[in-house]
Amino acid sequence: MILRKGKIDYLLLLAVVLLVVIGLTFIYTASSAKAADRFNGDSAYFLKMQIIRVIVGLMAMAWVMRVDYHTWIRRAPLFYWLILTVLLFMLFMPSSWMIRGTRRWIDLGFVKLQPSEFAKYALIFMLAKFLSMRDLDIKRFFDGILPQLILVGLICGAILPEPDASSALMIFLIALTMMFAAGARLVHLFNILSTGVLIVFAGFLVIPYQRERLFSFISSLRNESEMSWQVKQSLISLGNGGVFGVGLGQSRQKMHWLPDPFTDFIFSIIGEELGLIGTLGIIALFVFIIYRGFRIALNAPDAEGRFLAVGITTAIGLYAFMNMAVITHLVPTTGIPMPFVSYGGSSLMTHLAAVGMLLNISYQSSLRYVKSRYGVRHASRQYF
């Protein structure tokens, strides 16, 4: 079903567009020096690449927004099993395909795709479909929660050995939040969370570089060793910024001090150039998006829309604040990008498409309200 006319949540859209514009601005200011060195003086190379991704992402958002979300829900099993197949295939990729010692990306030459970003939303769609079934009693463990856990376990189990423990943990937490929204018993969720955290922690211990990163983080908290170079430079960036920042484009840490300052640690450069005021502005935009997302979930036309909105909103919020926690040394370095802001293709495009889904659900909620109040004959007059 194609939705051809209707009102959209302009406030949510505006907040997302603002974050994208801020992201483009700081990708340029943070990457210009590195781009000029690597690409024969082309200081805008990374900016141009990100603009292409933004255009593709906005097109995906517009497309998703126009198609009834029930259509996507019906195809959730296809998306889920397809992405799971891709994840399993990646575990057997030849070592020559590995990037930085991991199997997280598929290099197609013109673009690198990270399947775990797509897997996150494939699982959200799948859970939204099954949690909304009328005959499902989520308060029961074996015939309520366990089938959902199997779906979650397959995805996380395929991502963990890439190795990518942080993404597996984030997806696991998103799934638990959706189960909580569906009415699962707290005692079940607590036991599941405890078991899941232990499994991820065991993964950190088994994987050498993850183990070293975890122990280094714990040692630095106890003042037994220095924090990693990247985190140390990140904190210096935030400290340099103070309250009002050093000025747009004036960051010193981006000059080859902070590694890849336009990717996972772009928030540090924002803090340095715009100061505390700028970082609070970014936080406020994410809080507003989370508010609008959960508001859409509360007003969703049905259970499928409600659980889908909860999953999408949780994913955006969790990834954003986990990224902030990393750059402020509250958690170990994870490689989690900041939604809409960090340089990268898979994260940006999937999050923008997910916002299109939120706008779709919001549209249908508003349309249902207008039809119920004014009647079907007058409903179309309320939208443009």
pLDDT average per 10 residues of sequence, the chain (384 residues): 61 96 94 85 89 94 92 94 92 71 72 87 96 90 91 92 84 95 93 84 68 66 60 85 88 81 90 93 97 94 94 96 89 85 91 95 72 42 29
pLDDT value at position 217? 66
- Phi, psi for 326 (deg, rounded to 5): -65, -50
The closest of 295, 300, 292, 286 to 360, measured between CA atoms, is 300
pLDDT value at position 374? 43
pLDDT value at position 71? 92
pLDDT value at position 375? 46
pLDDT value at position 104? 79
Ramachandran region, residue 229 (left: φ > 0; alpha: ψ -120 to 50; beta: rest)? alpha
What kind and span of H or E run contains 106?
strand 106-107
pLDDT value at position 232? 79
89 CB neighbour count, 10 Å cutoff? 13
| Domain chopping of the chain, boundaries | 10-369
pLDDT value at position 383? 29
